Structure 1
Amino acid sequence: MDAVEDIVIVGAGIAGLTTALGLHRLGLRSLVLESSHSLRVTGFAFITWTNAWRALDAIGVGDYLRQHHNQLYGLQSASTVSGLQTSEISFKAKGKNGEHDIRCLQRKVLLEALLKELPNGTIRYSSKVVSVEESGYLKLVHLADGSILKTKVLIGCDGVNSMVAKWLA
């Protein structure tokens, strides 16, 4: 089966879903290809700083995520090397655009928030990319099931073993 898509994004992780949502907010439809059979929510959490929250606000999920994640005002650490010496790092200092917004963000909650905002049918699961080739102005994306997608724009968000990056190299 050959299908034609204007924009194909490979990988339904944070980068792929954020890219798809950003395009959706601009009125552009994209198709996200994910090799696994469902959304992969491995990993637990990470610290997000002010600039990340500006990006999340720009795609329309910042307010929702703030409701589920408390702001951090500092960190404490203890060292057993010199007999339980503690130190504190404060985040209360103001940046040039106001107070810093620093939170520990749960990866699963972020991915689910991005997914919830995307139109149905944006993600195609069990779609492992095995190769990419060029055909005129189109890219031919070959999938493990034998199907081929033709696309004008191909965006690789498929991580360290990226098939898109291998094709570009």
Structure 2
Amino acid sequence: MDKPHAVVIGSGIGGLTAAVALHRRGWQVTVLERAASLEPVGAGISLAPNAQRALDVIGLGDRVRSLAAWQGDGGMRRPSGRWISRTDSAAATERFGGAIVLLHRATLIDALVAELPASVIRTGTTAELVNPGTAGGARAVVRTSTADIEADLVIAADGINSAVRTHLFPDHPGPSYAGFTTWRVVVPAPEQPFAPHETWGRGALWGTQPLKDGRIYAYAAAVAPAGARAADDEKSELLRRFGAWHDPIPGIIAAVEPDQVLRNDVHHLIDPLPAFHRGRTVLVGDGAHAMTPSLGQGGNQAIEDAIVLAHHAAPDADLGTALAAYSADRLPRTGAIVRKAAQVARLMRLTSATSVGVRDTLMSAVSRLGPALVLRTFDGIADWQPPQHTYAARAKGMHMTQR
């Protein structure tokens, strides 16, 4: 019998994870990517234990864990360098079964692509959902620049401004501006050792995190009007905003070339969707539940989406039941994380000296009571376990034989 055909729109982390998981599950998969190549936009990504366990299902969890660079102390600081709170990797491992792993997005993309036959991914291909299909009847139709494709299942991984989401839910208001902008850079590690940290100021923060390959992933955020950009360049903007903060921040900014700084305004889907599917079409990742980066869970939740979708969508399953189960599993969890991320972002956006002082004092007091209280923010998030899969190990062996 012919395998059912799944079409994935978008080759980001969620789309590629879904493609790998469905391929292992027994689906024929086609990934459509409008860019000419799979060069990921972005810099670093943090994968928490929940995403690592999700990647275990497709055999990539241990590969990610081997890239862990966070050892020992870390925590939150003030712009002066004074520590607000401290956390160590051992405490995180004990509580959640693993530490956060920082890696370059390109590393994860390359690992996912390596799990797929070369013919699966079609770059330089625009894709438009023409018909979402009906679960028990007509197949979905995706229009590309060369031909229409009929699909048994369409996975929309087309990002925060998802055209597929608009097609499925035209009355939904879509993403809204979260009130701040972000910058991201990757540079060689400074000569002086440092403890991984996030530094919180008045309406701004800076994060400095090591990568296993010897580089540094640094990110910043600040309250700013939507659409605002530096009159000169974004490196100069970082110097103006963060150049007087504690070491190693000034040195990291100095090491960046102006064209290496990525700046993006932050939008989120604070208004939840009524479902993550309609007919034979399903949303994963930012198109379904875009969130602020305050908890570092955006990519992690896209990975969870993909694994849960593949769990429900056996090739011979009733598709209507499978997609309804996927929405029922993912809507409450991701909605809660979107709201929690927004709450943490509001703390970062505080600008008055009094409010910031109270925030820092409370965080410091909690830290003195022990690392467990600091880590409690991630209870119910980082301790997530994927649904039981019986196909993963068997399909892994079959997949490797085919390759």
How does the TM-score come out when normalised to structure 2?
0.37
Secondary structure of residue in 2 paired with 1:117: coil
**Residue deviations 1:84-103, cap 9 Å, x none?**
312422232222xx642321
Q: 1:85 maps to what in 2?
A: 82
Please identify which structure carries the higher helix content: 2
Q: 1:45 maps to what in 2?
A: 44
Quote the offset at 1:46 in angstroms: 2.1
Tell me the amino acid that sits aligned with residue 48 of structure 2: W
Distance in 2 of aligned mates of 1:72 and 1:53: 17
Unaligned runs of 5+ in 2: 170-403
Please identify which structure carries the higher strand content: 1
Distance in 2 of aligned mates of 1:49 and 1:134: 33
Mark the CA change 1:72 to 1:10 in structure 2 (over 3 Å): closer, same or farther: farther
Tell me if the contact between 2:90 and 2:99 (Cα under 8 Å) persists in the aligned partners: no
Distance in 2 of aligned mates of 1:74 and 1:53: 21
Mark the CA change 1:105 to 1:148 in structure 2 (over 3 Å): closer, same or farther: same
Tell me if the contact between 2:70 and 2:89 (Cα under 8 Å) persists in the aligned partners: no
Is 1:133 aligned with 2:131? yes
Distance in 2 of aligned mates of 1:156 and 1:113: 21
Unaligned runs of 5+ in 1: none
Tell me if the contact between 1:139 and 1:152 (Cα under 8 Å) persists in the aligned partners: yes
**Residue deviations 1:42-94, cap 9 Å, x none?**
211122211111011111112223333424444233313xx531242223222
Aligned ranges 1:1-169 → 2 under 5 Å: 6-80=5-79, 83-86=80-83, 87-93=85-91, 94-95=94-95, 99-134=97-132, 137-143=138-144, 145-169=145-169
Distance in 1 of aligned mates of 2:99 and 2:81: 29
Percent of pairs with identical residues: 32
Secondary structure of residue in 2 paired with 1:63: helix
Higher relative contact order, structure no. (Cα contacts within 8 Å, ≥ 6 residues apart): 1
Q: What do you get for the CA RMSD once the two structures are aligned?
A: 2.1
Tell me if the contact between 2:75 and 2:86 (Cα under 8 Å) persists in the aligned partners: yes
Tell me the amino acid that sits aligned with residue 62 of structure 2: D
Mark the CA change 1:99 to 1:139 in structure 2 (over 3 Å): closer, same or farther: closer
The farther-off stretch of 12-21 and 157-166 is 157-166
Task: Give aligned pairs, total.
Answer: 160
**Residue deviations 1:20-60, cap 9 Å, x none?**
11112222221111011110312111222111110111111
Tell me the amino acid that sits aligned with residue 147 of structure 1: A
* Bigger radius of gyration among the two: 2
Distance in 2 of aligned mates of 1:138 and 1:115: 27
Tell me if the contact between 1:8 and 1:33 (Cα under 8 Å) persists in the aligned partners: yes
Mark the CA change 1:121 to 1:59 in structure 2 (over 3 Å): closer, same or farther: same
Quote the offset at 1:138 in angstroms: 1.2
Tell me if the contact between 2:132 and 2:168 (Cα under 8 Å) persists in the aligned partners: no
Mark the CA change 1:14 to 1:134 in structure 2 (over 3 Å): closer, same or farther: closer
Mark the CA change 1:74 to 1:46 in structure 2 (over 3 Å): closer, same or farther: farther
Tell me the amino acid that sits aligned with residue 141 of structure 1: V
